[in-house]
Amino acid sequence: MKTRRGRALPVAVAAALAVTVGAAAPSAAKAPAPQDQATSALKAEIDRLYASDPGLLGRTHKMQAFIMELALHAKTRNPDFKVIPQDAAELAFVDGDVDKGVLKDLVGLVDGWGKEDLLLDGDGVTPTDEQRAYLELVRHHLMVTETSTVETQAELQEYYARAAKWGVIPYPRIGGELAQQLNPGKRWAENGDYFWVEDPTTIGLGSRIDGTRDVTRLTDAKNYLYNINGRPYDAWSTWDAEEAAYAAGDGDRTRITDSYGNGLLVPSPGGPYKPVPADDPTVQKAITIYGDEWDWWWRAAGLDASAGRQTWLDALRNSDYDVIYIDSFYNHRALPAHQTPLTRAEIESLKHKPDGGRRQVIAYLSVGSAEQNRWYCQDDWVWVDPTNPNTERSMKSGKLVNRVYSPPENAPEWLALGYGGNYAEEAVVQWWNPEWRDIIINGGSPYKNVATGDDTSSIDRIISQGFDGAYLDNVGVYSRQGRNGGWNEFESYWLAHGGIPGEDHPYISVGGITPGHGQVDVDFAIESANGKGYSLYLKEADAQGPFARYGDVSYNRKGAHIKGLKDGTAYLAYVVHDTGGTTSRTETVTFRPGLRKG
């Protein structure tokens, strides 16, 4: 049985993942092996969660199911494979509610949890509601890692104190004045980033470092490196051309305060770049101290333009971190046809620290968003958007305008929502759609690698590369609701247009019910209409006048006729509650064929 220090896997999970060597194949007359029964029970629980109704609780269950399905799939291939979701730790609890206790099957399948920008919230004495979920997971003997942007020495000390107090493994992303103090003449970006292989002593992690420490279980780790995008080491030979192209239309791209791009400039005598804008106090200070001749950090260091991959790998190998989170590709920014995954030999070379200790090498994998530079992205899923701050290629996605949803054009329906912020090259996905589950977990997707024609899933690629585990980003998208709407509007749209894509059972939409007076109180009952279908009856308080026609559902005060209902089938109705013509809330109700009462 596989165990972790201080925490045994639940019996059902351990049995499901047990491996029997040299056992004879069971005959047809024998009962299923215990591990088969346990695996079947886990799969049944996953299917139950996936089958949840629309709405926030249903999406909570569907993301729990996704995490469990991925983890079970991975651990069936390699029982020692680690699974670490990032964000939304409430997913580890029943119904996403910390007060209801952990969801044992899920917690038994994951090995840790990660978070960005958590520790410095609140007063550091009483945990916030969000912090409480992560601290509960620490108490359940999961490794919890956290990274925050830290901008002053005082903030850095407070950050480490809170991490030590709460048993969380910290990694500070150094920004602001602190970046300039700790890396004089080398780092000017105002915001912290996760691009650099930092010297742990420079950023204050020295007391947590031991190069001889073996980390085979994540609970053995005392530190980690958050390096999920190796931007400073990527495709150096293209940087000058990119800068010239930007400068042709936008002369202020040489911002040394922009960590994604020109924050990678450093003072260099004879360098071709001059930091802008001149009236920025940070830029003025930098020029006063170092002059106005700057160049890319790697060229100033005397490195060859083709040495980026080797420089990055050497920096990782020479570090003493216990756990490293990295991308599974070197050239993260390349288009899918030109990406080169890390080789198995390269990954194996990262698993031992310079002083011999074993470390864990974990691959970054976004499961809640599709990215335009990943193997599965087809050319017609992207469009050229010069306003994208990171790349001109942006992902197509569903749109929300004044809380009205429209699906993506000429792209898969599961590219559900725009990611927002500075990430136009990503789209939030309908993660429970079978096509996305095939891309990330199961394989066999119709969307193959444009270069190789391979349809191997992302998690199987990562396992075959030799990674010790996967870091699952964007699991928190399940609750996304912005000013212009989000998942509620996505579900409402599709329930009104034939059903949510990829669902296994039909949906009937009943929406837009606006009574003449007060709050709607809707009840449902179904009765046979002479064997020619069923009628849906609505019981309302103070309903006035006829209701509108809505798709294949026509309804009025006397009831509604719905085409295509089958006896013995459960259907879901999505109801919009209106008060005075304004939507006050949405909810999902279930109705089944039966006799109308009253």
DSSP letters for 54-114: SSHHHHHHHHHHHHHHHHHHHHHH-TT-EEEEBS-GGGGBGGG-GGG-B-HHHHTT--EEE
Q: Decide if 160 is inside a domain.
A: no
Write b or e for each residue in 198-231: b if 16 or more Cβ atoms lie within 10 A of its Cβ, otherwise e: bebeebbbeebbeeebebebbebbebbbbbbbbb
∠445-448-451 over CA atoms, to 5°?
A: 165
Q: Decide if 482 is inside a domain.
A: no
**pLDDT tens, residue order, the chain (598 aa):** 333 333 444 444 454 444 322 333 344 445 556 678 888 899 999 999 998 989 999 999 999 999 999 999 999 999 999 999 999 999 999 999 999 999 999 999 999 999 999 999 999 999 999 999 999 999 999 999 999 999 999 999 999 999 999 999 999 999 888 998 999 998 887 778 888 999 999 999 999 999 999 999 999 999 999 999 888 999 899 889 888 877 776 656 677 887 666 678 999 999 999 888 888 888 899 999 999 999 999 999 999 999 999 999 999 999 999 999 999 998 877 888 888 999 999 999 999 999 999 999 999 999 999 999 899 999 999 988 877 777 778 899 999 998 899 999 999 999 999 998 888 889 999 999 999 999 999 999 989 988 889 999 999 999 999 999 999 999 999 999 988 889 999 999 998 887 899 885 444 444 433 333 333 334 443 333 333 333 343 333 333 333 322 333 333 333 343 444 444 444 444 444 444 444 433 334 444 443 333 3
Domain boundary among 251, 277, 300: 300
Q: Decide if 515 is inside a domain.
A: yes
Residue 106 near residue 64, CB atoms below 8 Å: yes
Does the N-terminal peptide bond of residue 272 adopt cis geometry, omega within 30 degrees of 0?
no
> What is the C-alpha to C-alpha distance for residues 166 and 145, in angstroms, rounded to an integer?
11
Residue 535 near residue 526, CB atoms below 8 Å: yes
Q: What is the DSSP string of 170-199?
A: EEEEE-HHHHHHHSTTT---SS--S-S---
Domain boundary among 249, 271, 300: 300
Q: Decide if 274 is inside a domain.
A: yes
> What is the C-alpha to C-alpha distance for residues 312 and 78, in angstroms, rounded to an integer?
28
Q: Decide if 280 is inside a domain.
A: yes
For 255, which DSSP code?
B
Domain boundary among 273, 300, 327: 300
Coil vs helix vs strand at 135: helix
Number of structural domains found in the chain:
2
Residue 88 near residue 478, CB atoms below 8 Å: yes
In the block, residue with structure tokens 């924050």: 263
Helix, strand, coil tally for the chain in percent (to 5)? 30, 20, 45
112: nearest Cα among 320, 325, 358, 316: 325
Q: Decide if 37 is inside a domain.
A: no
The identity of residue 202, as a single letter, is T
Cβ neighbours, 10 Å, residue 361: 24
Residue 384 near residue 493, CB atoms below 8 Å: no
* Model confidence, pTM: 0.82
User: What range defines the domain where residue 285 resides?
Assistant: 236-300
Coil vs helix vs strand at 401: strand
> What is the C-alpha to C-alpha distance for residues 333 and 310, in angstroms, rounded to an integer?
17
Q: Decide if 254 is inside a domain.
A: yes
Q: Decide if 259 is inside a domain.
A: yes
In the block, residue with structure tokens 């599961």: 414
